[in-house]
Amino acid sequence: MSDSLLIFTFSPIQSFIAEARRAQDLFMGSRILSRLAEAAGKAIGERNLVYPADLHNDAPNVLVACIPEDQISSIITKVNAAMEAVWNRYVDDARKSIEKFNMQTDDTWDEIWERQTKPFWQVYWATAPIKDNDYKAAYTTVRDTLDAVKRSRLFDAGKAEDGRKDSLSGKRAALHTRDYPDARKYWAHETDPKITKIFASKVHPFGKEMLDAIGAVKRFSDNEPFLSTSSIAAADYLLRVKANAPIALGKYRDELRGQFSEGNKIFEPREESDPDWPFDGDLLYMETLTTKKLKDDYGVEADKGKLDLCRKKLGEIYFAPLLENPKEKIGEPPKYYAILVMDGDNMGKHIDDLLKLDDPKTAHKDFSVAIGKFSDRAPSIITREFLIYNGGDDVLCLLPLVYALPLAQKLTNEFKKLTGNNASAGIAISHHQSSLDAALGAAREAEKEAKKVDGKNAVCIHALKRSGETLKVRSAWDGVRENFDALVKMFKADELSSRFAYDTKQSAYAVPVGGEMWQAELKRLITRHRDDKTGPDPLKLSGQLNNWTTALPGQSAEELSNWLILARFIAQGGGE
């Protein structure tokens, strides 16, 4: 019996992942979808897969395989059963966890749960026989057929649900009971700090968060924890504190333990993962340590006197000297973090080129192996504690601000090295207490903008400043690689004043494009704003920046000035 080519996919993907208010929601949404895809791949048979080459990393939601023609129906049946079994395990884990917290449930609650936890995805697949060993013809036929099926298939939005909507999707009814038909009152009761064991790290109290069944699966299923956006923003800072002021950190930690003792914790403990700092990164920010903040956000009635002691101990960390430069203090943690989205460039075209080769099936498989090697390497570049998704040619991660661009460059360089293909990245910079879904949307939009740069191999950054304005920059990687890190260091060391970036912005209105006039203006501004002793050479730096300008989209001087403003922003840890 001859083989058939199968392409299998399912949806929704982005919308399911984007239903997130916390990093943990984002991580679990991605993890669930990856496990569903992995189950589908195993049901198809790993030895049958062309893409991905294996299932060692996060499985992509598109699978390509060569399968016996007479087994198509049985394999698809196995795929559906395997995916449903994985989903049901997550659902059952969440329900058991909810029962451990003694949450009130009844027939009304159960009806919502059963309705909303039915398999939520739609499956799309197509096959074609590989006649006369013509892999190219089969692949082209299946791809075109699948595209047509996806375009023509109507999405069943289902019946609109009554009542207050959940906090993650804003579309489905939040869980509630007959005694508490108002979901806000139900969740306020179930998360009341005086009677519940549900920490604020799981669900915000006072009805500020209301979960539907899918949101509850993301929050309550037995899963590995993921760092909060506050912990990510402060991650590099925490390493610096441990290296320079371990005694001060220990004293602050012990003071917090005394304040937030057993039964009065605002965060679930992380003793096993980090005994030196078993708390969320939010407690490294002075603005967290107010009675109002702790009451409103975490339901904690904090004693002002004890809280003042905590603030004093935290202040001692801020004013502790750096070992390599005792005149410089550790200071406060950065308030911004980054979301990085990386994606291979022109992947469809590359597959088309492979199909033209003498042995397209082997070429396609070899390319899948190369992509798999990149996925194997990614965790050594982006540590797993920051990785949301790492599969195929896609990477999604949350990073400390100072890590974002350097690690994005390393990822794209490694992708090029292992696959021979370029990759582009979108980065959103966001305040650690700002909306996660807005930041994720900005990162996705930045990725799309990077893909519009001629020749791609580019990066686009959207910095969502709390002041309200969004700073947007784009560039091919070459210009960033040659200039940006050096600019950040110059601003950080005060070799260039902050005014240089903003005065360059003003000059860009008069000299809008790169060239001799722009280089002369840059030289004048560098001379004016550099440190006379340690500052850069005006002629050399103006030449480098002018060359970068001429390579930017539209040879835009304003685009360069925005990159300078971003460099200054990162140098100050997100300082406005």
Lookup: tokens for 84: 């449903």
Residue 550 lies in a domain: yes
Last-in-domain residue among 160, 193, 220: 220
DSSP state of 87: H
Residue 136 lies in a domain: yes
Q: Kindly list the distances between the CA atom of residue 197 and the CA atoms of 98, 99, 250, 504, in Å, as whole numbers in the listed order.
A: 11, 12, 27, 55
User: Alpha helices, DSSP H only, in 401-472?
Assistant: 404-419, 436-450
**Cα distance between residue 438 and residue 520, in whole Å:** 40
Question: Do 42 and 117 fall within a single domain?
Answer: yes
Question: Do 451 and 485 fall within a single domain?
Answer: no
| CB-based contact 475:459 (threshold 8 Å) | yes
Residue 91 lies in a domain: yes
Helix (H) / strand (E) containing 390? strand 387-391
Question: Do 71 and 102 fall within a single domain?
Answer: yes
Last-in-domain residue among 305, 329, 353: 329
**Cα distance between residue 462 and residue 470, in whole Å:** 6
| CB-based contact 11:122 (threshold 8 Å) | yes
**Cα distance between residue 315 and residue 338, in whole Å:** 26
Question: Do 339 and 325 fall within a single domain?
Answer: no
- pLDDT beneath 70, residues of the chain: 1, 153-159, 223, 261-272, 575-576
Question: Do 343 and 382 fall within a single domain?
Answer: yes
Beta bridge partners of 513: 556
Question: Do 346 and 296 fall within a single domain?
Answer: no
**Cα distance between residue 212 and residue 387, in whole Å:** 26
**Cα distance between residue 189 and residue 183, in whole Å:** 10
pLDDT for position 264: 47
CATH number of the domain to which 77 belongs: 3.30.70.2220
Beta bridge partners of 49: 65
Question: Do 323 and 344 fall within a single domain?
Answer: no
Residue 228 lies in a domain: no
Prediction pTM value: 0.94
Number of domains, the chain: 5
pLDDT for position 194: 79
Residue 158 lies in a domain: no
Question: Which distant-in-sequence residues (6+ apart) come within 8 Å of 504 by Cβ?
Answer: 522, 525, 557, 560, 561, 564
| CB-based contact 160:267 (threshold 8 Å) | no
Count how many Cα atoms sit within 13 Å of the Cα of residue 314 in the half-sphere of its side chain: 21
User: Alpha helices, DSSP H only, in 436-476?
Assistant: 436-450
**Amino acid (one-letter) located at 223:** N
Closest to 165 in 3D by CA, of 155, 154, 175: 175
- 257: helix, strand or coil: helix
Question: Do 457 and 441 fall within a single domain?
Answer: yes
Cβ burial of 348 (10 Å; 0-12, 13-18, 19+) is exposed
| CB-based contact 228:242 (threshold 8 Å) | no
Beta bridge partners of 125: 8
Residue 197 lies in a domain: yes
Last-in-domain residue among 439, 464, 489: 464
Residue whose pair of structure tokens reads 């669900």 in the numeric block: 203
Question: Do 360 and 450 fall within a single domain?
Answer: yes
Question: Do 325 and 344 fall within a single domain?
Answer: no
Question: Do 8 and 148 fall within a single domain?
Answer: yes
Which range marks the domain in which residue 50 is found?
3-152
Residue whose pair of structure tokens reads 């108002």 in the numeric block: 182
Q: Kindly list the distances between the CA atom of residue 106 and the CA atoms of 111, 116, 211, in Å, as whole numbers in the listed order.
A: 9, 15, 16
Question: Do 302 and 384 fall within a single domain?
Answer: no
DSSP state of 211: -
Residue whose pair of structure tokens reads 């490294």 in the numeric block: 284
Residue 457 lies in a domain: yes
